[in-house]
Structures are given as C-alpha cells and as structure tokens.
Chain A
Amino acid sequence: AQSVTQLDSQVPVFEEAPVELRCNYSSSVSVYLFWYVQYPNQGLQLLLKYLSGSTLVKGINGFEAEFNKSQTSFHLRKPSVHISDTAEYFCAVSGGATNKLIFGTGTLLAVQP
C-alpha cells in the first residue's frame, strides 16, 4: 500500500523568503507524485507532478519539486514567496496496479508581510 507523510502541518514564512514543504512517501512499486494547492474555500488544483524522467519538476507560480528515490521524498520549494501563496498544499502519490490517488494531510503555508 502507498502512503504519504507531510510532517509539517503549518509553515509560517515571511514574504520574499524561500520555503520548502516536505513530503515523504512509502510505496513498494514505482510511483507518480503530485503537489496540489488549495486556496481558501476552493477546490484543489495541480501545482506539478512527477511521472518519470528528470527528477527536478517545475510547476506553476514559480514552484518546483525534486524527486529523490533513495530518500523517498518529493519536497516542494519556492525561492521567494508572496502573500498570495498563502494556501494549503497537499502531496499525493499513485501508481502500481491501482488507480487510487492517496493524499497527505496537508501543509498550511502562511506567508506574513
């Protein structure tokens, strides 16, 4: 079975500072990895995804993530955050014979002026 761990439930950061949101996964098969963002009172939308190939994946709004198979991680980074990046961020994993997409518990990114 696959699982996802997001250790940080909340990450406070000042505007224009860099940020890293951590995600670790567990799977016995090859995986696909995703980051989704949820703005207040909205549904989720895709930030980026890793399916294969280059381990550094670039997404929307200046975010990027690096797939590290040996450490089973897929951390999300942004070099300089903006107030508008305040949202909840979810890491998710799928793969193998199942079509299921399993989400982590989410990390609230709180950008302060």
Chain B
Amino acid sequence: NAGVTQTPKFQVLKTGQSMTLQCAQDMNHEYMSWYRQDPGMGLRLIHYSVGAGITDQGEVPNGYNVSRSTTEDFPLRLLSAAPSQTSVYFCASSTGTGSSGTQYFGPGTRLLVL
C-alpha cells in the first residue's frame, strides 16, 4: 500500500492564481480530510468528507473548495490564491467514521503564495 499520497510536494503561486492540490489513498477509507499547518497554530481543519459525494466544512474553509467523486481521491482547490494561504497542507484519511478512527497523513504540500 502507498497509503496517502499528495502532489505536488512544493508549489509557488502568484496572488490570484488557482491550483489543485491532489490527494489519494489506497486503503479504502471513507473519511478524508484536509488540514493546513502554520507555525504556532497547529493543524486546522479545512474541509472533510465522510464518503464519496459528501463533503463538509472544517474550521477554516474560506478560499478552498473540495469535491469527492471517488473513495480514493479528495482534491483541494484554491480558486484565487492569497498570501495568507501560504502554508503546509496535509491530507489525511481515516478508519471508521473519523471520530474514533486513526488518521493516516500524507507527506504534505508546501505552498508559497507571492
């Protein structure tokens, strides 16, 4: 199993550009989520999904869109990048419902918005 994979590893964007961060898992987990990690702020939940076709907002959803057309994939879209979105982004998938399950994290995507 590859586990949770994320692409790209690094990305530099200009303000106003759009991009999609890819996330895939091969563990057949129903629950997937996106976090951003900023110094001194820990991980903050952006969006999550409890299964294909079902998504919901986390703590900091503004400026980000998600969709879940398959169990395996959960892409995160930045519609119009802003410098405040400079961060490290982690995708995770979880056993069970998500509440009690173990989260498996990808290696992260480092995003710099100029």
Contact = CB atoms under 8 A, between A and B. Distances in A.
A90 B3 CA distance: 21
Interface residues of B, number: 28
Interface residues of A, number: 25
Contacts of A54: none
Contact of B103 (A36, A42, A98, A104): A36
Contacts of B102: 46, 49
A95 B103 contact: no
A43 B106 contact: yes
Interface of A is mostly: loop
Nearest to A93: B99
Nearest to B102: A46
Interface of A: 6, 9, 32, 34, 36, 42-46, 49, 51, 90, 94-96, 98-106
30 contacts: A6-B42, A9-B40, A32-B100, A36-B103, A43-B105, A43-B106, A43-B107, A43-B108, A44-B103, A45-B105, A46-B102, A49-B100, A90-B43, A94-B98, A94-B99, A94-B100, A95-B99, A99-B31, A99-B56, A99-B98, A99-B99, A100-B45, A100-B58, A101-B99, A102-B45, A102-B59, A103-B35, A103-B42, A103-B44, A105-B41
